[in-house]
Amino acid sequence: MIFNSLIQPKDQLTTLSENATLAEALSTLENTGYRCVPILDATGTLFRGNIYKMHLYRHKSRGGDMSLPVTTLLKNATKFISKDAAFYNVFFTIRDLPYIAVLDENNRFYGILTHNRLLQMLATAWNVNSGSYVLSVAVRDERGTLVAIAKEITRFCQIANVLSISPTKDEKQVLITLPDGVTQETVDKIVRRLNRKNLPVIEIENLHPNL
């Protein structure tokens, strides 16, 4: 489920009516500096799609009629999520978009979730600002591996965050963020313990190298 604080509500956004012309849309985008904005129906409640500056410029450069309705160049009409969408669904839907439209329980346009806000949330969850080091541990697809990693690390310190990734089909890594205050000496001890347990640390990232 999406956190409400991540969503920019409709009353804080620049939107266009489906009755606007392409010329009006281009003027709005140039004045605001946005690369695209949501298009709503005439009542201002239903999401119709997005209009992009690049498509307007291309249309105009080819001698296209700018008095046509904005729906002529409508994009992403089916790219939206509900307020209670699962987080995995959000990731797969938003991946190639600057933002994703969010609909309420009555399928009315509620606001947008931007790529930037999603990344900011992930950075916060990963404790980038308050963490000290991130250990990338190559793991086997075996039961109890995560428990084994946690057991070795918590001998020396707490764990601030855990993220599992699979760079390739046959490769899996667990990224462990250590809390603020952990020293290089402690990191070295943790790495030695993990390597000894056949849990190789393949990369160590210092989150604050200049401190």
pLDDT in tens, 146-163: 999 999 999 999 999 888
Q: Which amino acid is located at 147 in the chain?
A: V
Residue 128: predicted pLDDT: 64
**Residue 143 in domain:** yes
On whether both 100 and 14 belong to a single domain, the answer is yes
Residues 54 and 8 in one domain: yes
26 close to 77: Cβ distance less than 8 angstroms? no
Which segment of 10-24, 52-66, 84-98, 106-120 scores lowest on mean pLDDT?
Answer: 84-98
User: Is the domain of 53 the same as that of 110?
Assistant: yes
* Residue span of the structural domain in which 114 resides: 4-121
Q: Closest Cα partner for 46 from 55, 57, 37, 38?
A: 38
Measured distance CA(99)–CA(76) in Å, rounded: 10
Among 103, 121, 139, which residue terminates a domain? 121
